[in-house]
Chains A and B, each alone.
Chain A
Amino acid sequence: MREATRKKWDLSASFYDLLAYGPERRWAAAKRALFANMEGRILFVAVGTGQDIRFFPPGRDIVGIDISPRMLAKARSRAAAYAGKLELRLMDVHSLEFPDYSFDQVVSSCTFCSVPDPVAGLKALRRVLKPGGMLYMFEHTGSRLFPFNLMLNLMTPIWKPIGPEMNRDTVANVRKAGFEIQQVNNIYLDVVKTIIATSPA
């Protein structure tokens, strides 16, 4: 497990819910719509403090992982309230402790802005995803548009020590990891997106 990443998110756990109040409220409808696709055995990557659990459709079989013990401690009460099967596990996406082809779907929410090696993390997800399995992502990325790309490049060194990188090309990273992109929808500008991809059979 990458110690620096764990420490960063342990530190953020104490104020994460406060800072996430506005974004979670604004993105609620888009997340609910994306998560409505959840079917089969699902791996939810970086469950954090469990803010997204309220958007999960009921009755699903979900394993939620996170690198931060303090984040997971906060998520436990939300997980207990979920009307379905939801197991939380401490795990680094770079070194998943699941056998190959364990999941029908993988879902992430604002995760691959922060994973230290996003392509390696996505390749690890492909390993545990069944052939033809679906990847659903709600992510913020860099922008192709000036001046938003400039703003995001300027903000990245400021935010990175306590949170995400603002200028990643996550769609390209998904392709590099070997997934086939099915759909990309812009939620805000070309910065906040939903990405739907499949693991090739």
Chain B
Amino acid sequence: MATAWLVTGIVDPAWPTPAGMLAGMLAAMGLSLLLMPVFVALFGAMEVMLPVMLTAMLAGMLLGMARAMTVFSTWEAMVAGGLIGTLTLLSTYALDASLRRRGL
């Protein structure tokens, strides 16, 4: 959701779509790196870093692309960002459970 808020503030609907995607992705990943030490210290290392970075990359890219193509509110973007984050967390959790069962 923080990613979505940031991307809607940075990317302008007048931008070319690829520029919106790239700017959204870079801004979101930069934000995730800034927030990372706090989350890592509280909740764990890889278990936080990987889903957070992945969410930032996907949400930044998708919302940056969408923002460059159409106008939507910050609130709508934050809901979409929240959904992307939730889906990423659930997918990572499912993959983790499967890999732990399988070993190497």
B69 CB-CB contact with A under 8 Å: no
CB-contacts of A173-201 with B (<8 A): 183-193
Q: Is the CB of B50 within 8 A of A154?
A: no
Interface size, chain A (Cβ < 8 Å): 30
| Nearest CB of chain A from residue B83's CB, rounded to whole Å | 18
CB contacts (< 8 Å) of A2 on chain B: these are none
Q: Is the CB of B44 within 8 A of A22?
A: yes
Selected contact of A184 from candidates B44, B49, B103, CB within 8 Å: B103
B14 CB-CB contact with A under 8 Å: no
Number of A-B contacts (CB under 8 A): 72
Selected contact of B46 from candidates A154, A171, A188, CB within 8 Å: A188
- Residue ID in chain B nearest A193 by CB atoms: B104
Known contacts A19-B40, A147-B57: does B47 contact A188 (CB below 8 Å)?
yes
CB contacts (< 8 Å) of B49 on chain A: these are 151, 155
CB-contacts of B26-82 with A (<8 A): 29, 33, 37, 39-50, 53-54, 57
A158 CB-CB contact with B under 8 Å: yes
Q: Is the CB of A189 within 8 A of B50?
A: yes
Q: Is the CB of B103 within 8 A of A158?
A: no
CB-contacts of A135-167 with B (<8 A): 140, 145, 147-148, 151-152, 154-155, 158
Q: Is the CB of A186 within 8 A of B50?
A: no
Q: Is the CB of A184 within 8 A of B104?
A: yes
Selected contact of B104 from candidates A158, A186, A191, CB within 8 Å: A186
- Residue ID in chain B nearest A152 by CB atoms: B50
CB-contacts of A1-31 with B (<8 A): 18-23, 25-27
CA gap between A25 and B45 in the complex, in Å: 10
Using an 8 Å CB-CB cutoff, how does the interface string of A15-52 with B read, 1 for contact, 0 for none? Answer: 00011111101110000000000000000000000000
Known contacts A158-B33, A189-B99: does B104 contact A22 (CB below 8 Å)?
no
Q: Is the CB of B57 within 8 A of A23?
A: no
Known contacts A22-B48, A184-B104, A189-B95: does B41 contact A147 (CB below 8 Å)?
no
